[in-house]
Structure 1
C-alpha cells in the first residue's frame, strides 16, 4: 500500500512538473508571439502595382535589411555600426531603431530598379515611422547626394523623402524633393539657385513621438506630399514661404503649357503641395558626368543623406516599413497603404 502511495505521489509530482513546464513554455511562446505581432497587413503593400522594394525591418542587428518582393532583395547595409531591432512594427512586428549615429544604405552600383530617373520618370515612396527629433532627423530615404554645399553643382540628387527644410518654407514640414539637374536648381534661363529648391511642403508639421505614415508621389510633373494617408494641401504664400523668385511665382505649369494637378488649367505659380516641377528626374551618366560630378551616382540611403561633403543629419526614430514604387500612386492608393499599417494600434502599445 505504501509503495502504491509513493508511486502515486511520484506520478503526481511528475505530472505537476510537466504541467508547470508546459505552462511556462506556453507563456514564453505567447510572449514571443505577442511581442512580434504585426499590427498591419503587408499584403496590401505587396500587391500594390508598381512595387519595386518593400522593407519590413524584421532582421536583427548586424544583418542586412532585405526587401522580399520580386527578384531583387535590395539589401540595406548598416553604416556606422549595428542598428538595433526593437519589438513593435506594422508589417513584421519589429522595427529598426535609428539613434542619429547610424543609417542604412545601398551603394549606387547595386541600386538597380531603385535608380529611378529620366524625363518621364515617376516614383512613390511610403514609410511607416516614429520620428523623435526633427532638429536632427531630416531624412527618411532616397537617392539624394547634395555634393559639397551651397553653389556646388557636383551633386547627384534624384529623389528624396526629407523633413524640416526651412530655406524655402519647409521648417518642420514634410518636404519631398525631386531634382532634374542633380546639382542646384536652375531657372528657365539657366541661372542657378544656391541649392536644390524643388520640393513640396505640407501644411502641417511632421508628427513626432508617435507612429505615422509619410509618403510622396511624383508623376513627372507634380510632387505631392502625404501625412497619414492624406494629401496635405498647401497654397503658395511667396513672402512667408521665401519663394518670391519668379521661378516660383511665374514659371509654373501655365508658363510651360502644362495642366494643373487635377487636370484643369495650369496656374501661374508652382504651388506648394502639390508642387509643380515638370522636368523629370536626374539620370547620372558616368561618361557624361565624369568631370562635373566626380563623387559618382547617389547611394540609396535610409535615415541619412550626403550633404555639404559628408553624411549628415542622421535620423532618430523607429522605421517599421518602407516601400518604393516606380509609378505615381493615386490619393486613394496611398490612403490604402496608410490604412494597411494600422498606426492607431501601434500608438496604443
Structure 2
C-alpha cells in the first residue's frame, strides 16, 4: 500500500475519523486531513519539522522536547470535545521517542487539563499502578482527581515498555465502558489494567474546559497538602513528550482491535517496525467488555 492509498484508508475507509495530522506541511499551523480541518498551533516556542525517512507517514515529523507544544482552542475544535455518558473515542499516533534525562509521564495528545478539567489523553510513562514506560489511556468522568487520590488514577496501561529511537504505533480507545491501550497494532494486555473497566463516560468541561493539546497538557505547577487536602498552586504546561510525532488521528468512536491492526499493517511498509518481530497478538473479546 502506497502513501496515497494509506491516507485514503485512514480518511475514507475507516469510519468515525474527526481529524488526521500528518505534519508534512509547515510548522506554523498544521491543518488536519479528514472531515474536520482543525489547525494545530505552536505554543511555548517553535515545534520544528525534521526529516526522518523512516517515518511511517512521510519524510517529515514534528519534533518535541524543547518545551513547546501544539494546541487548538476548545472553541475551535468542537468535535474533539468528546464527552458525555455515551462518549467513545480513539487516538492513534506514530511516534519516535528520544532518550535524554530521566523524566516523568509524557502526554502525546488529548483534552486533558489537570485543573479539574480532565477528559481524555494518550500518555506514555504514567508511573502509576506499577507502570513505567508503557502506553497509558487516561480517561476521566469527573474531571478531577480520582476520589481518595491526589491525582487521576483512571487509565488503561499496557505491559510493554515503548522503546526509544524506533518508530512505534501507539493508540488508545474508550467505548464508554472500557479504556484500552495498544502498541504496534495490538492490545497490550495486562490483566484488569488493560483493558480497564471504566463505565460512566467522559467529563464535560463546558466552555472553560480543556483545549486539545499535542506534546503537553495543562496542569498546576504544584500540588501541596494543607489540612489533609490537596491544594493546587500555579499553572504550567508540562508532561512534555520528547521525540518525534509523525502522524496523529482522533476518531469519535472506539475502533475495534481489527481496525487498529489494519491501520498498523497498512503503515508498516514505511517503517522499521516491519523488520521487527511482532509480539503474540492479543485481541479483546468485545462481548466480554460490555
TM-score, length-scaled by structure 1:
0.69
Q: Give the whole-Å Cα distance in 2 for the aligned partners of 1:158 and 1:75.
A: 20
1:340 maps onto 2:266 in alignment = yes
Aligned counterpart, 1:57: 23
The alpha carbon displacement at 1:117 in A equals 0.3
Of 314, 329, 343, the match for 2:255? 329
Q: How many residues align?
A: 255
1:160 maps onto 2:121 in alignment = yes
Pick the structure with more helix per residue.
Answer: 1
Q: What's the Cα RMSD here?
A: 2.1
Q: Give the whole-Å Cα distance in 1 for the aligned partners of 2:240 and 2:32.
A: 22
The 1:107–1:164 alpha-carbon spacing in structure 2 relative to 1, beyond 3 Å, is same
The alpha carbon displacement at 1:135 in A equals 2.3
Pick the structure with more strand per residue.
Answer: 2
Aligned counterpart, 1:143: 111
Q: Deviations over 1:190-236 (max 9, x none)?
A: xx32211110110111221100100011010001110000101012x
The 1:347–1:167 alpha-carbon spacing in structure 2 relative to 1, beyond 3 Å, is closer
| Contact 2:109/2:213 (8 A) holds in 1 | yes
Aligned counterpart, 1:80: 44
Aligned counterpart, 1:311: 237
The 1:99–1:195 alpha-carbon spacing in structure 2 relative to 1, beyond 3 Å, is closer
TM-score, length-scaled by structure 2:
0.82
Of 187, 192, 197, the match for 1:276? 197
Q: Give the whole-Å Cα distance in 2 for the aligned partners of 1:347 and 1:136.
A: 26
Q: Give the whole-Å Cα distance in 1 for the aligned partners of 2:264 and 2:202.
A: 26
Q: Which structure has the larger Rg over C-alpha atoms?
A: 1
The 1:99–1:343 alpha-carbon spacing in structure 2 relative to 1, beyond 3 Å, is farther
Alignment of 1:16-95 (within 5 A): 41-47=6-12, 48-61=14-27, 63-70=28-35, 72-88=36-52, 89-95=55-61
| Contact 1:99/1:316 (8 A) holds in 2 | yes
> Which blocks of at least 5 consecutive residues in structure 2 are unaligned?
221-234, 276-290
Q: Give the whole-Å Cα distance in 2 for the aligned partners of 1:345 and 1:323.
A: 18
> Which blocks of at least 5 consecutive residues in structure 1 are unaligned?
1-36, 148-154, 187-191, 236-270, 287-295
Q: Give the whole-Å Cα distance in 2 for the aligned partners of 1:100 and 1:68.
A: 26
Q: Give the whole-Å Cα distance in 2 for the aligned partners of 1:161 and 1:58.
A: 22
Q: Give the whole-Å Cα distance in 1 for the aligned partners of 2:71 and 2:131.
A: 25
